[in-house]
Every structure is written in C-alpha cells, then in structure tokens.
Structure 1
C-alpha cells in the first residue's frame, strides 16, 4: 500500500488530534477564567505557532515549502479564519465544552449549503435529509422557552457564536480547498499564523494585562497544543482521505465532556443529549455520502 494511503495510521493520528483539540478548548476556557482577554489568548495561540512551525520545517530542511505567490489569498483566508476563531473560542468560553463542541459539528451541514451556492451543485435527497435532521438537533439543543442559563437552556450569545463558528469553518474549508491546489498544507497553516498574529497585535495590546507565571505557562500551552493539533490534522490527511478520517472528529465530544465534568464541574443540560445524536448522525450521513462518491470516482477512473 502506498505511503500516502495508510488508513489505520490516519485514523490514529486523527484520534490523537481530537484529544489535542479538546485540550486546546479546555485551556482556552481555563485561561479566560484566569482573567486573560480573548484577543490576547488568540494572539499567543497564533504567535507561538510561527517559531514552532518554522523551526520544525528548518530542522527537516523543508523551508522551501513555504514559498507562495498567493499572499493576498492567504491574507483573505486569515481574515475569515480569525473571525471564525473568535466565534470558536467565544463559544468555548460562553458554553459548556460539550455543547460548544456539538454546535461545531454543524460544519458539514453548512458545507452542503455553501457547496450548493458556490459550485451551483444542488444537494441530493440524502444530503437535504441530513441538513434537516442536523438543524432539528440544533433546535432541540437550544430548548426554546427554557430560559438562558446553563441549567435550563444555553446562552443565546454562545449559541450564536457556536453556529457562526460552524458556518465559518465550512467557508474556510472551501478557501483551503482552493489554496491547497497550489500551496502545501503546512504553508496554509504557517501563513494563517503569520497574518493572524499581525491582525491580532493591536487588539492584544489594547486588552493585555500583567499575568502571574502560572498564567503565562497556560498561554504557552495554548500555543503548543494548538500547533500540535494542526500538525496532527495535517499528518492525518497525508495518510488518509478527509472523508475516511472525519468520523474520528466526533471523539472530540468524549474528551470535552470529560474535561467539562472533571475541571469545570459542568455538564450540558439533559436535552442536549437528545439533539446531539441528530447532529452527529447528520454529519456522518454527509461523510458517508462523500466517501461513497470518492470511491465511485476512483473505481470509474
């Protein structure tokens, strides 16, 4: 089997990546509770990635992989990605970790809608069913009329942030799909960190404050873990297709539930577990459909 097709290794790397992502979300929530503003958290998340990625490439003798002629496209992707990160981290801060994670699973649903709009490709019946099923799960999770506290419902602002994050990640996926036609995956990650750091510098300077050594260590961990997660996600896609490894992403819900319970003493409301399976099932339906289409295309070729 060719090196780039090692499905079990790809699944293993993706599983470890989900743990790294859940740990990143937990650290963001923890650091924010220790008084660090969101712009500063995001700045250090991006800034620390630059020397880590650059050093990793230098050690491997692959700095040439950062060559690009599409700096403007990278910059536009950074703007969308930074807004998406605000929504993503905002949802982690405002909601119990599992609820924010479940709302992030709406990305495939928005992906279907965006693909239909951008590529003028109308979804089939199964995809429309998945979209309807997924958003039915969102309606159940929001528990209309039960209030806005974690005990009864969820924060409206947190809900908006979570859904916006799902939408923007779907949009970013289309941008990355375009970029990777000419750019290496590591270059996409590196320039996002570089332009993101520049974009976040002013908000960080306006909101930063003195921190004790413990909080600086936590901010360092945010940068390290976030970079590790990106490397693992990239490596998983090197050894397996996106459609085949996507199923592992749902393991993030396990890790964030454990973190929410053990560290923040937060468990999602009971109705969350009624809506979550619908969203997960919708995402898996879309992933399975994509996998079958890719397999059929390969067989035809």
Structure 2
C-alpha cells in the first residue's frame, strides 16, 4: 500500500470518527432541548444555544488563529440563515412530538444532502452508497415505528428542518474552499445570536437551575456537534459522510432511555442494527476518496 493510499484511508477513518462524535453531541443536544423546552419558549432555547455557541466558537477561533471575517460572505450568510431556520423548526418539533420521532425525521437530511451534493456540487453518488442511504432511512424508521401514529402537523417542522439542513450542509462543503471550520461556526453563531436576541424581552421569570443547565448543555453539545460535523465534511464526500450521521438516531434512543425513560423495542434494535450495518458496508465496500 502506497503512502498516499495510507493517508487517504486514515483521512476517511478520521472523517467517520468525527461524524460519529458529532452524532453523539447532537443526540445529547436533543435531550437538553427536550428538558429545557418543557416550560421555556422556543426563542429562549435558541438564544441559550446561540449565546453558548458564540462564546465557545470565539475561543476556538482565537485558539486556532482563524479569521472572524468570512472569505465568502454571501455563502456564509446563506448557510447561517438556512441553518438558523432549520434549527428553529427542529427545536419546535422536539418540544411538540416524541424526541425519537423528531430526531429521526430531522436526520433524514442525509437523503437531501446526497441529492443536493449530486445536483449542485457534481459529487459522485455510487449505487452502493445510495442503497445504504435508503437502508439507513428504513432503519431509522424502525427505531420509531411504535410512535409513528403520532405523525402530524408538528412533524412537518422536523421534515422541513431536514430539507433546510441538507442545503446548509452542502453549503458547508462548498465553504471549505474559502473558510475554516472555526470561521463558519463562529459566523453562524453570531447570526443566530442576533436573530434570537428578542427572547430577552419575552422572559417573564428566571430559568430554574435544571432549565439553566439544560440551556447550557444545549449550547455546548450544539457547538461540539457543529465543529465535528464541519471537520468531517472537510475530510469526506458529503453523501459518504451523511450515512454516518444516521447514528444520531441510535444515540438518541440510548440517551432517551437513560435520561427520559424511553423504553427500547425489538423494532428499535433491528433498526439500530440496520443503521450500524450500512455504516460498516459503506466504510468497507464504497471507495469514495476523501475531500482534498
């Protein structure tokens, strides 16, 4: 095996690990939103996340020596606006429907990522990869099959979030040519803070210690997921990395059981196995080169 092949395999491996780490963070973020959103208004949740994200991303920006000013302002603005609306839709869905349902529906976004990356970026989407995306989607559905009867109007917000997230993730892929991950995340955080700041005027009480801790957790886990996801997309093709983001459903089921008392089912176990299995198949069988 040549040195270049070894490097490529190592980059693919790290890209997968980063995406799995992002999935863990996003699952924990969902639990935090569920807890904080029991009594706090939606805009307050967005403000709490955005405030934490601005602080964390600014510190990382300085630590890495990355510029705050974006290299592609228009695309950064589009990514930030799309991501903010998607975040609002997703948080609303979490507060209105079961957590597992919201997570699963929103994380159908990899299907849209694969579609948009092929149409807009001209990336190769092989047959094996497409099949794995479909199978992973089926697995995600099995995880929440017992609760599908609750599908209604509120669930449409999670689906809308999935579409918008797909667009935002493709923008992240394109932004790698002009901006660092730290710059992308920091500008998104600032945009979100500005547009969620009206929540200050809507607060009629001080959050309880539990609510405050959940708000802090929402921001910290969101930051972790954001930066890990951004780095993963710099190492992997968008559609390839997207398959592994389905593991968020698996981690959400686990954390939902531990933190929220949600009971796993046989169908959920089968779905989880299908999700993990497709990830293994892609990593072994699909020869997709890492991003330069």
What TM bracket, shorter-length normalisation?
0.7 to 0.9
1:218-297 to 2 correspondence within 5 Å?
218-237=214-233, 240-242=235-237, 246-267=242-263, 291-294=286-289
Aligned length: 285
1:1-301 to 2 correspondence within 5 Å?
5-33=10-38, 35-60=39-64, 62-63=65-66, 65-115=67-117, 117-118=119-120, 150=147, 153-202=149-198, 204-214=199-209, 215-237=211-233, 240-242=235-237, 246-267=242-263, 291-294=286-289
Q: Secondary structure at the match of 1:183?
A: coil
Deviation per CA, 1:9-32: give whole Å up to 9, x if none.
544443333222111110011000
Over the aligned positions, Cα root-mean-square deviation in angstroms equals: 3.9
Contact 2:33 2:94 in 1 (8 A): yes
- Which runs of 5 or more residues in structure 1 are unaligned? none
Deviation per CA, 1:63-89: give whole Å up to 9, x if none.
4x3232433332222221111101222
C-alpha distance 122-236 of structure 1, shift in aligned 2 (>3 A): closer
- Which runs of 5 or more residues in structure 2 are unaligned? none
Q: Secondary structure at the match of 2:173?
A: helix
Contact 2:33 2:91 in 1 (8 A): yes
Deviation of the 1:165 alpha carbon: 1.9
TM-score norm. by structure 1 comes to 0.74
C-alpha distance 100-223 of structure 1, shift in aligned 2 (>3 A): same
Deviation per CA, 1:76-115: give whole Å up to 9, x if none.
2222111110122223223333222322332232234334
| Larger-gyration structure (1/2) | 1
Deviation of the 1:156 alpha carbon: 0.9
Cα distance between partner residues in 1 of 2:72 and 2:132? 35
Deviation of the 1:206 alpha carbon: 4.9
